[in-house]
Amino acid sequence: MAEFIPSRLVQSLPANYFTRMDQKIDSVVKQGIDVIHLHTGSPDQPTPMPIIETMNEAAQLHKNQGYPPAGGKMTLKKAVSIFYQREYGVSIDPETEVTVFDGATIAISALPQAMLNPGEVMLTTDPAYPLYYVCPQLAGADTYGIPVHAKDGFLPDYRTIPDHVLQKARLLMLNYPNNPTGAMATKDFFAETVRFSKERHIPVVHDFAYAAFGFDGKRPLSFLQTPGAKEQGIEIYTLSKTYNMAGFRIGFAVGNASIIRALSRFHDIDHSDVPSAIQDAAAAALLGSQKSVQNLCALYERRRNILVSGIRAIGWDVQAPKGSFFCWFRVPDGYTSETFADTLLRRAHVAVAPGAGFGTHGDQFVRAGLLEPEARLREAAERIKASGILDEIPIQN
């Protein structure tokens, strides 16, 4: 078979860090070993039935069987506007301040291409969701990760950004509740972000993927709730997590009209629009009862408490996340994130994600998801204890 050489752009893209991780885990599973999968980020609960019923009915309508309108159906855009007013007290113009995507990843990928030129820089955090580091390369742009630390609540300090980076910075990407750290943004931090954005004329993108999941009675803040935020940036929202609609591939962006226009223009050329029946299902999710969302948040909080208390009980000193459905655990002394993850997989048959995959400043942590049943989370702690890993000093190579 002929071998064809891809473009220089494709050749320059890094290999997917987590593909290699998945291959390691699969090699263990293929041996017939039962692995507890705490590395995954895919929701494990079913989509609420009213949402599915709406989509099934909508798929049968003749008006939904043609091409959907560019940028999203107005019915969904109006639902988004109602949702943001109801949940966050934020006024959104459905005509100019909303655009719809087939999953939030499309927006994350499109933004650097819509907003950056070659040689410019997108700011984000280190650690961060890995795609934030990859997607700017599609625009010939670079990424700078602002180091974040536990002592600061994993919130970036804009004063630490080097001047030579600031000179080229043209976009700021944030994500709270945060993947991987589980950190939550504060009012003061978002206010400082707006101030920084205005001062440097750098638009802000807030990836609000885990909007529904704040623990200990604290609800995650929308960036757009901050005075002046809508003038300075946008927020990306996905229904994958809030409504367990990961397989539906539906998300939207709201906020600054000029950024929304740029995204919509790029999307019209680069992607197809979301099927109309799925958009109708999304509108039903946003406008319907939110009881399933409340129950889901409570489920993740129970799972968090079980996993964290179980891990602490066996002598591993870890911190509980404030939101999202991820835990960010510092590895014991003597390990890196990769050596500890490998040891857990090999000896305890518990799979976690090495923090090194999220950035240089993640290498002393592993990410553990709350997407397994409660009994499996208890068993994970029992397996780690039984393996004896925590009682040993690792051998240095």
122 conformational bin, left if phi > 0, alpha if psi -120 to 50, beta if neither: beta
φ, ψ for residue 23, nearest 5 deg: -65, -40
Of 17-21, 101-105, 262-266, 293-297, where does mean pLDDT reach its minimum?
17-21
pLDDT tens-place string over residues 135-157: 999 999 999 999 999 999 999 99
User: Is the pLDDT assigned to residue 76 strictly greater than 90?
Assistant: yes
Grouping H, G, I as helix, E, B as strand and the rest as coil, residue 35 is coil
Q: Provide the β-strand partners of residue 251.
A: 101, 238
User: Is the pLDDT assigned to residue 18 strictly greater than 80?
Assistant: no
In which band, very low, low, confident or very high, does the pLDDT at 15 lie, cut at 50, 70 and 90? confident
HEC sequence for 122-147: EEEEECCCCHHHHHHHHHCCEEEEEE
User: Is the pLDDT assigned to residue 242 strictly greater than 90?
Assistant: yes
User: Where exactly are the structural domains of the chain?
Assistant: 49-120+162-185+199-285
pLDDT value at position 190?
98
Contact predicate 50/284, CB 8 Å: yes
In which band, very low, low, confident or very high, does the pLDDT at 395 lie, cut at 50, 70 and 90? low
pLDDT value at position 357?
94
- Name the class of domain 49-120+162-185+199-285: alpha beta
In which band, very low, low, confident or very high, does the pLDDT at 17 lie, cut at 50, 70 and 90? confident
User: Is the pLDDT assigned to residue 32 strictly greater than 90?
Assistant: yes
| pTM of this structure | 0.96
pLDDT value at position 271?
84
User: Is the pLDDT assigned to residue 240 strictly greater than 90?
Assistant: yes
pLDDT tens-place string over residues 328-386: 999 999 999 999 999 999 999 999 999 999 999 999 999 999 999 999 999 999 999 99
In which band, very low, low, confident or very high, does the pLDDT at 20 lie, cut at 50, 70 and 90? confident
